[in-house]
Amino acid sequence: MTADLFDSIAERPAQEAIADGAVILRGFAHAVGSELIPALREIVAQAPFRRMFTPGGYQMSVAMTNCGPVGWVTDRSGYRYDGIDPESGKPWPAMPPSFLRLAREAAAEGGFDDFAPDACLVNRYEPGTKLSLHQDRDETDFAAPIVSVSLGLPAIFLFGGPKRSDKPARHRLTHGDVVVWGGPSRLFFHGVAPLADGEHAVLGRQRINLTFRKAR
């Protein structure tokens, strides 16, 4: 990749530190928004959104899909990463260059150089859906950060601490905001409060979250 591709991501964004090793980059994805949405639609055309089941048999309220060499899946046999979409029996769609470029640049802006994600979870939130507090710990290497991109309707991101009982802080995320966390806060509990209803000019009554991880 050439330098001008990286320079096009954004000028220095507004940074909001939320914990040691965790930062919100306000509006960081705006500069590549025109590339992200068409790429997102191509991914969903190949691997449609679905509501997966947890090992306990509960169906998730958030619909999801994946792109990249591996995708995160859950069913009655457990949580894991797999290179094959269990619904189609085919590999997950390739991670678009615009996605990868954004993830790497955001990670670097957050203080984590050389981020090489091999999985992008694509979550779709509709009004009323939420994501309970949890840790991202299905990856093999916790040295790499998590990069989370918000698109569409605003959401309340809950960011707690190393214990589930730690009271989470509430952070309002809007279209284009990116959260990066790693290092001391890599295994902090986090989630999303029930999504308020609304209408986004591009994505309508939904929020799309792109979560980049180095799974293997």
Question: DSSP class of residue 168?
Answer: P
What's the pLDDT score for residue 13?
66
- d(CA 133, CA 188) in angstroms, rounded, equals 9
Domains of the chain with bracketed CATH = 3-213 (2.60.120.590)
For residue 64, pLDDT over 80 is answered with yes
Pairing between strand 190-192 and 22-26? unpaired
Residue 126 and residue 208 in contact, taking contact as beta carbons nearer than 8 Å: no
d(CA 202, CA 186): 32
Residue 192 has pLDDT above 50, yes or no: yes
**pLDDT tens by residue, 106-124:** 999 999 999 999 999 999 9
* 13, 16, 17, 21 alpha-carbon torsion, rounded to 10°: -40
Total-model pTM:
0.93
Nearest to 150 by CA among 29, 13, 32: 29
Does 91 score more than 80 pLDDT? yes
What confidence category does residue 3 fall into, taking pLDDT thresholds of 50, 70 and 90?
A: very low
**Per-residue pLDDT at 8 exceeds 90:** no
In this predicted structure, the answer to whether residue 203 has a pLDDT above a threshold of 70 is yes
SS3 66: strand
**Distances 167 to 17, 111, 133, 189 between C-alpha atoms, Å:** 17, 25, 10, 10
Query: pLDDT at position 11, please?
Result: 54
Mean pLDDT (the chain) is 93
- Please tell me the distance from the alpha carbon of residue 8 to that of residue 105, in angstroms, as a whole number: 10
**Contact partners, residue 96, CB within 8 Å, separation at least 6:** 35, 39, 42, 43, 67
